[in-house]
Amino acid sequence: MAEPKQLTSGSAHAEPHSARHATPGTYVAVLGALAVLTLIELIVVYLPFLGQILLLVIATAKAWLVLQFYMHLRYERKILTWIFLMPAIAVGILTAIMQFFVR
């Protein structure tokens, strides 16, 4: 079964390839950044202070890199970013509210 012809996101007019997606060089750079950040995480575990906050910041940065460059959110409409982030924000707010009732 043949697939429908791929067109530029949100527009019927063709754009240069590099304007829509990251280049292979960017993909390699992101992989390098992800590997380095993971190594930093493994070192940060042994820090006596601020370790937990730093770990969460690094994990968020890694996830952001994957979302932006590998999942191409950087090149998509902003609504898709909000659709994806909304559940995490909602669960965060609900958890914070829950703390008042638990304590």
Partner 1 sequence: MQQETTLTKVASHAPSVAEPAAEHAEHHVDHLKMASFTYNIENSKMAMWLFLASEMFLFSVLIIAYIIARYAHPEEHAQLNVPLTSINTFILLLSSFSVVWALSGVQMGNQTRLLRGLAGVIVLGSIFFLLMMYEYSELSHHGITLAHPFGMAFYALTGLHGAHVLIGLVWAIYVFNRAFNGVYTKESYWGVEFWGLYWHFVDVVWIFIFTVVYLL
What residue ranges bind partner 1 (CB under 8 A)? 1-12, 17, 21-24, 27-28, 30-31, 34-35, 38, 41-42, 45, 52, 55-56, 58-59, 62-63, 66-67, 69-71, 76, 80, 83-84, 86-88, 90-92, 95
Rounded Cα gap, residues 40 and 62, in angstroms? 11
Single-letter amino acid, residue 59: A
Min dist CB 28 to partner 1, Å, is: 8
Nearer to partner 1, 41 or 49 (CB): 41
Tokens of 46: 């042994």
Nearer to partner 1, 48 or 87 (CB): 87
Min dist CB 10 to partner 1, Å, is: 7
Single-letter amino acid, residue 87: P
Nearer to partner 1, 34 or 48 (CB): 34
Rounded Cα gap, residues 90 and 103, in angstroms? 21
Tokens of 24: 């292979």
Rounded Cα gap, residues 37 and 1, in angstroms? 42
